[in-house]
Structure 1
């Protein structure tokens, strides 16, 4: 079996690949259409004009739902882990989950409302996405330490803490410098008085975004879980279709975790 098909690690694997592709594909299309500059446009700039706005919107919404699924799987993993090993306060796990949901909601706003159409809603969604996302990584880093050594290795705990720290440090210039960017335009000139603020904010934004991607990449180790499906009989004769539906349903519900065996 391929490593990315073990357990439910296909969730973070898909999320990492798809979200990375979202940023890169929309950027390349916008660059090909001459809608953005080569040097560090805002991520939102790469999805402001058609046709890249259509691609950016669709792929970002899919990313948001993939993020929700991954966060829910992580929430259930920690919940199941806590039943056996303890150490993680349930309220902490729940807080991390709902803050993560807020981040995904903000991502949907960013995808739906382009910055060149309804700027205030787009900016509010971006702020919700970045701030909630950073808080989520911080809380999950704390959870990893509290669950150690059952949840993951010490090296993985430190890696998550490092990524969360980078995201935390980068989100401040992302937001603060964006306040001083006075004009909403897709093309910037070095002589613009707010160019430095734009550059710092845009670079920090890309750092935060890819910090999230690398953080979810660390979930692949946790999600290599094993499942056991019970043998089902439907009266005297087995129904292949019903058994297929049951097996799919069971495969989506974590039952036993390899890390707990």
Structure 2
């Protein structure tokens, strides 16, 4: 059997590949069309103008649904694992899944409302996505350590800790610097006011985004261990 068809391994594999492509493909198209600068535009800037906006919206929406499917499968896996080992608090697992749902909703808002058309709604969606996403991977890191030695290995737990810490540290300059700048434009020059703050915010945003991507990459090995099945019950009509 091909490795990515073992268990539910295809879910995090697809999520990692597709989400990475969402960021990179739109950046390359926007760069080719000279809609953004080479040096670190915001991720949303790469999908601000058509046709990039159409591609960005479609790919980001698919990413949100793939993320939801992956995090739901993770939730059910931990639920079953807790029944066998008792190492993971059901409340902690449910809380992590709640933040997963909120984060996916935030990404759908970002994908639907472009920053050049509905900036406030777009920014709120981005804030919800980033904050909820960071909290989710922090909670998953805590869960991984609590579940050890079941589930992830010690080295994977440590790797998740690193990605969670990087995302946690990077999310603050992403939000704070963007809030201070309060300027929306696609092309920046080094002599522009607040250029440094914009650069710090943009670099931090890309750092947080790829921290998410690499964090889900660590799920692949665990997802080989289980499958999900749908049980259908048809009630008799009276």
TM-score bracket for the superposition, by shorter chain length:
over 0.9
Matches within 5 A, 1:9-20: 9-20=9-20
**Residues 10-40 of structure 1: CA deviation (Å, up to 9, x unaligned):** 0000000000000001111111111000000
Aligned to 2:235: none
Cα pair distance change 1:157/1:116, threshold 3 Å: same
How many residues end up aligned between the 2 structures? Answer: 231
In the aligned structure 2, how far is the partner of 1:198 from the partner of 1:180?
9
Aligned to 1:241: none
Q: Which ranges in structure 2 are unaligned for 5 or more consecutive residues?
A: 232-238
In the aligned structure 2, how far is the partner of 1:147 from the partner of 1:4?
24
Contact kept, 8 Å, 2:160 with 2:218, in 1: the verdict is yes
In the aligned structure 2, how far is the partner of 1:125 from the partner of 1:226?
33
Deviation, 1:226, is 4.8
Deviation, 1:253, is 4.9
Considering Cα pairs closer than 8 Å and 6+ residues apart, tell me whether 1 or 2 has the greater RCO.
2
Aligned to 1:230: none
Aligned-CA RMSD value: 1.2
Contact kept, 8 Å, 1:48 with 1:115, in 2: the verdict is yes
Aligned to 1:211: 211
Deviation, 1:182, is 3.0
Matches within 5 A, 1:138-177: 138-177=138-177
In the aligned structure 1, how far is the partner of 2:187 from the partner of 2:47?
14
In the aligned structure 1, how far is the partner of 2:147 from the partner of 2:86?
7
Aligned to 1:98: 98
Is 1:59 matched with 2:62? Answer: no
In the aligned structure 1, how far is the partner of 2:229 from the partner of 2:39?
42
Aligned to 1:181: 181
Deviation, 1:225, is 2.3
**Residues 72-126 of structure 1: CA deviation (Å, up to 9, x unaligned):** 0000000000000111110000000010110010000100000001100000000
Contact kept, 8 Å, 1:182 with 1:194, in 2: the verdict is no
In the aligned structure 1, how far is the partner of 2:205 from the partner of 2:41?
10
In the aligned structure 2, how far is the partner of 1:102 from the partner of 1:35?
31
Q: Which ranges in structure 1 are unaligned for 5 or more consecutive residues?
A: 228-250, 255-261
Larger radius of gyration: 1
